[in-house]
Structure 1
Amino acid sequence: MASETTAQTVAAVDLGSNSFHLIVARVRPGELKVLDRLKEMVRLAGGLREDRTLDPEVQEHALACLTRFGQRLRGLPADRVRVVGTNTLRSARRAGPFLERAEEALGHPIEIVSGMEEARLIYLGVAHSLAVGPTDRRLVVDIGGGSTELIVGDGYTPRRMESLYTGCVSLTQQHFSDGRITAERFRRAFLAASQELEPWGEAFRALGWDEAVGASGTIRAAAKVLTAAGWSEGGITRDGLERLRDALIRAGHADQLDLKGLGANRAPVFASGVAILLATFEMLGIERMGAAEGALREGVLHDLMGRIRHEDVRETSVAALAERYHVDAAQAERVAATAAHLLERAGPGWELDPDWAGPYLRWAAGLHEIGLDIAHGGYHKHGAYVAANADLLGFTREEQDLLAALIRAHRRKFPGGPFKALPERWARPARQLAVLLRLAAVLHRNRRPLPLPELGADARKGTLRLRFPAGWLEEHPLTRADLEQEAAFLAAAGFSLQIE
């Protein structure tokens, strides 16, 4: 029997626009062994109203599902579970109360991922479900309920990714809302999907690939139907899809679909899924596509394992953004080291979890000057905008908002707005991290490589006390003046900075 050090249980939850998935796996050397899978059709995208709010009935359906998932997750440590929300939760307005109830039902926080991050995780899940070599180039297509992801990658590394705003649920609402399937409706759905794909077709064709692989329920269902009907051998083909399209039109209604391999839950959105798939074949010039078992939730599991093993793609993303904006690496390292020292000394008094706070403080220190590449005036504001809106792989929307808040608050007047927009559980510790980052930046304002003296620091509630060796501040009057000015900025924000 495997010991706890070689076999640990991890779980991922995928809150998709069409269905919710839970996967639980045991970590063994070199593999993830799946222990349990749960799936429920929720059709969250179908509950997204014209004003982008979620229909209350759909919310209750979703919460009931998440309560069942939460029972399965009970007892798993927080760092062994990841829950990700995709297109519909990205798009929903005023979803805060629903997300709070959803997190309570699950017992774990929900991460809303960007379209590009969703694409990366999908590729990771597909690649790990196949036998891949480091130079094998694949096109991966995932048709979800609210979006469609396209990725070309080599081995386990994605090279080009796009997330398109069309999915089987959203397209069904537009063209097959009453279940009727006609040739004209299918043509319009096909054209709508083709329009979304059109800007990216040539770019993806130019990259080329050795094989095309599809992920998620729509593509797997299409593969099963084509194989069962004898319309395609060895995967999905253009000819097979055209025969499937004709069969859908002959049926005339989603309720009348009698296709072997098609589940009843998939039938209402199947015509739109086939339209997107056929458009993808047309616009990207695909000849044949296989169907993979791995998808977003498997990708989330493998990404979680990377974090557990300290192979975090977020480190690479931060380094790439810093390089792109020509950050002074030596200055960033000085500020990061001092911020880490202050966290070690003052963190316990503020009850900051170093495992959570340390990485965000380090990443913010590494990026705090990215705005200088845009303009010196108000560069902290420019940097915050970039951090919040860039495609930072590995980061959720909330994590990028946290980085942006720290960057925005690292100098000048201490802002309140960026912290109010963060999840409630982060608001207080984020403000405290901002104080530490501000002080680190102030102490290295002269940008010189000379080391600082041994600093003492302790904190309690709204107070932070800095202690310097006797006589050092008298020998560095400019630093003292900077710290006194900083004390005034912090006092206006409700913090007391005491300098000894």
Structure 2
Amino acid sequence: MNKRIAVMDLGTNTFHLLITEGSIADHVVLEHEHIAVKLGEGGINKGTIQPEAFARGLSTMQQFKKLIDKHQVDHVRAIATSALRNAGNGHDFIQQVKGITGIHIEIIDGDTEAGLIYEGIKASGCLSANNTLIMDIGGGSVEFILGNNNGITWKQSFEIGAARLMDKFHQTDPIPQASIVDLNNYLDDNLEPLFQAAEHLKVNKLIGSSGAFETFTALIEKPKNPNFKLKDVRNYDFDYEYLTKVTDDIISSSHDERATNPAINPVRVDMIVVASLITRFVMRRLDIHDVAMSTYSLKEGVLAQELAN
């Protein structure tokens, strides 16, 4: 019998809702919502959810509940990541959501998050037998997974997400060269476990999980094809030179230039700068020239897990 499943990924910047019907081999998407809640706004490095963000989160969960009821969903999973697991008032938020909507939110640790992202990327069909680095740039954390279609070799979550880095390093726009140097030094210090894990593996490919990598894709494809739609894409292989130019342009751009670019999702207008810098840093540090994007991520990993049960 076909199950209707709702999966929510409650991130630092965006709350996602995915409702599907069907089996693991054949399912249809009934609803796919992205709401820019910006849960970490104003408090991401202070360990608290600010009142305005708290209210936006509650309102979004009420919207999601209406959609879940509308589709008569059989099973619901709501997963919370960096912002809620680190906020002092994260538990209050979870209790209020439960009281208002009846939805139970699970807080997962970074290691579990990385594992679910891997399952999502694997479900997209873009992994091979070759060693690959998967990177998921969230607002609160960044997950790195080394592995292939046979399994995970190494994984780790780092609390260096785009909202945190923007708060620390991107106070002036365009971002000054001195801030870029400071950011790169910070990444060099904080990502040492990744460099050690990759040292003895031949890693030739980087796969970026949704988010910023969707923006890079849109910035490359929309000028060539105004009818380009990300929803029609599951996986995308970048031309290295195009990706380098697009990220260069983002890093040197002003807020107004990014805000008026229709290829940039409004929620990413500012955080796309540090996301570009992280991407370029990792590509350069690990000498990777083969880069791809998958629109699948954590929520598709949770869905794959649910459909397999």
Tell me the TM-score normalized by structure 2.
0.86
> Which one has a larger percent strand, Structure 1 or Structure 2?
2
Q: In the superposition, relative to structure 1, how do residues 206 and 13 fare at CA in structure 2: closer, same or farther (>3 Å)?
A: same
Q: In the superposition, relative to structure 1, how do residues 136 and 166 fare at CA in structure 2: closer, same or farther (>3 Å)?
A: same
Code of the aligned partner of 2:139: G
Counterparts of 1:89-488 in structure 2, within 5 Å, are: 89-132=84-127, 135-155=129-149, 157-177=151-171, 179-209=173-203, 211-228=205-222, 234-235=237-238, 237=240, 239-251=241-253, 253-257=254-258, 258-259=260-261, 261-306=263-308, 309=309
The residue that corresponds to 1:33 in the other structure is 28
Q: Which runs of 5+ in 1 are unaligned?
A: 310-500
Is contact 1:167-1:276 (8 Å) kept?
A: no
Is contact 1:190-1:278 (8 Å) kept?
A: no
How far apart, in 2, do the equivalents of 1:109 and 1:64 lie?
16
Q: In the superposition, relative to structure 1, how do residues 290 and 297 fare at CA in structure 2: closer, same or farther (>3 Å)?
A: same
Q: In the superposition, relative to structure 1, how do residues 226 and 195 fare at CA in structure 2: closer, same or farther (>3 Å)?
A: farther
Is contact 2:81-2:109 (8 Å) kept?
A: yes
Q: In the superposition, relative to structure 1, how do residues 101 and 289 fare at CA in structure 2: closer, same or farther (>3 Å)?
A: same
Q: CA deviation at 1:157?
A: 2.2
The residue that corresponds to 2:52 in the other structure is 57
Q: CA deviation at 1:123?
A: 0.6
The residue that corresponds to 1:417 in the other structure is none
What is the root-mean-square deviation of aligned Cα atoms in Å? Answer: 2.4
How many positions carry a matched residue from both structures?
295
Select the structure of larger CA radius of gyration: 1
Q: In the superposition, relative to structure 1, how do residues 51 and 234 fare at CA in structure 2: closer, same or farther (>3 Å)?
A: closer
How far apart, in 1, do the equivalents of 2:59 and 2:276 lie?
30
How far apart, in 2, do the equivalents of 1:19 and 1:60 lie?
14
State the structure with bigger RCO (CA 8 A, min sep 6), 1 or 2.
2
Q: CA deviation at 1:277?
A: 0.9
How far apart, in 2, do the equivalents of 1:44 and 1:215 lie?
20
How far apart, in 1, do the equivalents of 2:111 and 2:12 lie?
16
Is contact 1:86-1:112 (8 Å) kept?
A: yes
Please state whether the residue corresponding to 1:207 is helix, strand or coil.
coil
Q: CA deviation at 1:145?
A: 0.6
Is contact 1:128-1:156 (8 Å) kept?
A: no
4+ runs deviating over 4 angstroms: 227-230, 239-242
Code of the aligned partner of 1:164: F
Write the deviation string for residues 16-74 of structure 1: whole angstroms up to 9, x where unpaired.
11111000111236233222100011122224265412111110011111110111122
Q: Which runs of 5+ in 2 are unaligned?
A: 225-235
Is contact 2:13-2:267 (8 Å) kept?
A: no
Please state whether the residue corresponding to 2:103 is helix, strand or coil.
coil
Please state whether the residue corresponding to 2:191 is helix, strand or coil.
helix
Please state whether the residue corresponding to 2:200 is helix, strand or coil.
helix
The residue that corresponds to 2:231 in the other structure is none
Q: Kindly, what percent of the aligned residue pairs are identical?
A: 24
Is contact 2:126-2:294 (8 Å) kept?
A: no
Tell me the TM-score normalized by structure 1.
0.55
Q: In the superposition, relative to structure 1, how do residues 109 and 97 fare at CA in structure 2: closer, same or farther (>3 Å)?
A: same
Counterparts of 1:65-76 in structure 2, within 5 Å, are: 65-74=60-69, 75-76=72-73
How far apart, in 1, do the equivalents of 2:250 and 2:207 lie?
23
Write the deviation string for residues 124-166 of structure 1: whole angstroms up to 9, x where unpaired.
0011011555x35432111111111111123152221011111
Is contact 2:204-2:289 (8 Å) kept?
A: no
Aligned partner (choices 4, 17, 20) of residue 22 of structure 1: 17
The residue that corresponds to 2:230 in the other structure is none
Code of the aligned partner of 1:152: L
Q: In the superposition, relative to structure 1, how do residues 186 and 101 fare at CA in structure 2: closer, same or farther (>3 Å)?
A: same
Q: CA deviation at 1:246?
A: 3.7
Please state whether the residue corresponding to 1:194 is helix, strand or coil.
helix
Q: In the superposition, relative to structure 1, how do residues 298 and 52 fare at CA in structure 2: closer, same or farther (>3 Å)?
A: same
> Which one has a larger percent helix, Structure 1 or Structure 2?
1
Q: CA deviation at 1:279?
A: 1.4
